[in-house]
């Protein structure tokens, strides 16, 4: 999950599939989308993040053709979604935030029904296999678990063999293993060359899947970039953290570390440094000298979640 992959992905990315400029939308007096620009390129996974009420769903629904826009330019697959027809719809796949499946139909019947709407559908069996529901294909949808229903939802979005897939919070409410399974499905889609527009509340999801991330807060894009560089994350200080050996004071640590070390309420000592190697070298030497194993040592940079919370923080507090 580190930098080398990013450049390759960027080089491989193609023409823009979604391009948005100056998009605005108001409900009455209240402007919920205040002039945003976005670009999503062919073959990439684009994660669109933001707290509830930030204009995220409104933006996505404008891109999907469900809502009209107030102002600005929107092109999705070279068409304006507001006036797009069935031909355009056959090239996109949608997983909406929530949709109850018809309880009377089986997995296979439902996938075959949707396949019948599209000019060049993917085979039903193949689609069901792709989302890992093959052993449930003859079960009525009411017999599926929440995670299986969501996978069926993804299957329906893929039956038309779309070029662009919108996934609106596809793993909300999943347990960890179901989420990892869903991630595999999304990773498979990317292997197939699909462009994916993902909204999510989970930063680990964006970190694991996305090539590019944009954060919307109060109707404006506050940060855009790769998960690794979002919000200047790559330029931030590293955080070295450990537990002091019993009966040791902060002042006893080596000089390079002692002056900048802070002990938090949980007892852990945090040292924020620009050059972690130097500090770690001093720390390790000191620990060996004192016969301490530094079992609890961790080194990290701020996670995507921390960056996101900082970006979205003020907005969430005011809600």
Partner 1 sequence: MSSWRVFAHQFRSDLLRFWRNPQSRYFTVALPIVFLVIFATMFKGTTIVDGRRIGITTFYVPGIMTLGIISASFVNLTQAIVTQRENGEYKRLRGTPLPAAFVIGSRAVVGVVVAVVMSALLLLIGRLAYNVRVPHSTMPGVLIAVIVGAAAFSCIAFAVATRISSAEAAAPATNLTVLPLYFISGVFVAESIIPRFLRNIATVFPIHHLDEALLKPIVQTHGTGIAGTDLLIVAAWGVAALLIATRTFQWSPRGG
Residues that bind partner 1 (CB under 8 A): 64-66, 86-87, 89-90, 92, 94, 96, 98-100, 102, 104-105, 109, 113-114, 116-119, 156, 160
Nearer to partner 1, 116 or 146 (CB): 116
CA pair distance 88, 69, nearest whole angstrom: 18
Shortest Cβ distance from residue 206 to partner 1 (Å)?
23
Shortest Cβ distance from residue 224 to partner 1 (Å)?
26
Asked whether 204 and 49 are in contact (CB, 8 A), the reply is no
Q: What is the 3-state secondary structure (H, E, C) of the chain?
A: CCCHHHHHHHHHCCCEEEEEEEEEEEECCEEEEEEEEEEEECCCEEEEECCCCCCHHHHHHHHHCCCCCCEEEEEECCECHHHCCHHHHCCEEEECCCCCCCCCCEHHHHHHHHHCCCCCCCCHHHHHHHCCCHHHCCCEHHHCCHHHHHHHHHHHHHCCCCCEEEEECCCCCCCHHHHHHHHHHHHHHHHCCCEEEEECCCHHHHHHHCCEEEEEECCEEEEEECCCCHHHHHHCCEEEEEECCCCCCHHHCCHHHHCCCEECCCCEEEEEECCHHHHHHHHHHHHHHCCCCCCCCEEECCCHHHHHHHHHHHHHHHC
Nearer to partner 1, 156 or 223 (CB): 156
Nearer to partner 1, 82 or 250 (CB): 82
Nearer to partner 1, 109 or 228 (CB): 109
Shortest Cβ distance from residue 56 to partner 1 (Å)?
17
Shortest Cβ distance from residue 84 to partner 1 (Å)?
10
Shortest Cβ distance from residue 104 to partner 1 (Å)?
4
Nearer to partner 1, 103 or 274 (CB): 103
Nearer to partner 1, 152 or 216 (CB): 152
Nearer to partner 1, 173 or 313 (CB): 173
Smallest Cα–Cα separation from 296: which of 287, 305, 304? 287
Shortest Cβ distance from residue 123 to partner 1 (Å)?
15
Shortest Cβ distance from residue 86 to partner 1 (Å)?
4
Shortest Cβ distance from residue 90 to partner 1 (Å)?
4
Nearer to partner 1, 118 or 183 (CB): 118
């Amino acid at each position: 999950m580190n930098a080398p992959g990013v450049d390759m992905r960027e080089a491989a990315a193609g023409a823009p599939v979604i391009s948005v400029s100056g998009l605005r939308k108001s409900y009455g007096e209240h402007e919920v989308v205040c002039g945003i620009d976005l670009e999503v390129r062919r073959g990439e996974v684009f994660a669109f993040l933001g707290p509830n009420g930030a204009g995220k769903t409104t933006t996505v629904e404008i891109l999907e053709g469900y809502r009209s826009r107030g102002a600005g330019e929107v092109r999705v697959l070279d068409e304006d979604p507001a006036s797009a027809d069935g031909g355009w719809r056959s090239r996109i796949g949608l997983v909406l935030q929530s949709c109850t499946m018809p309880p009377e139909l089986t997995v296979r019947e439902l996938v075959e029904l949707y396949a019948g709407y599209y000019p060049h559908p993917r085979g039903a069996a193949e689609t069901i296999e792709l989302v890992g529901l093959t052993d449930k294909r003859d079960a009525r949808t009411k017999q599926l678990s929440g995670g299986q229903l969501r996978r069926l939802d993804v299957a329906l979005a893929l039956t038309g063999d779309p070029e662009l897939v919108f996934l609106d919070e596809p793993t909300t409410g999943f347990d960890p293993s179901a989420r990892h399974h869903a991630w595999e499905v999304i990773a498979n889609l990317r292997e197939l060359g699909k462009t994916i527009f993902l909204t999510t509340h989970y930063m680990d999801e964006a970190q694991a899947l996305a090539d590019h991330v944009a954060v919307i807060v109060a109707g404006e894009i506050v940060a855009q970039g790769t998960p690794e560089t979002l919000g200047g994350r790559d330029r931030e200080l590293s955080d070295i953290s450990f537990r002091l050996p019993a009966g040791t004071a902060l002042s006893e640590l080596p000089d390079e570390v002692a002056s900048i070390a802070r002990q938090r309420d949980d007892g852990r000592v945090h040292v924020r440094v620009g050059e972690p190697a130097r500090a770690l070298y001093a720390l390790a030497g000191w620990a060996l000298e004192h016969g301490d194993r530094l079992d609890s040592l961790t080194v990290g940079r701020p996670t995507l979640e921390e960056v996101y919370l900082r970006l979205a923080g003020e907005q969430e507090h005011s809600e």
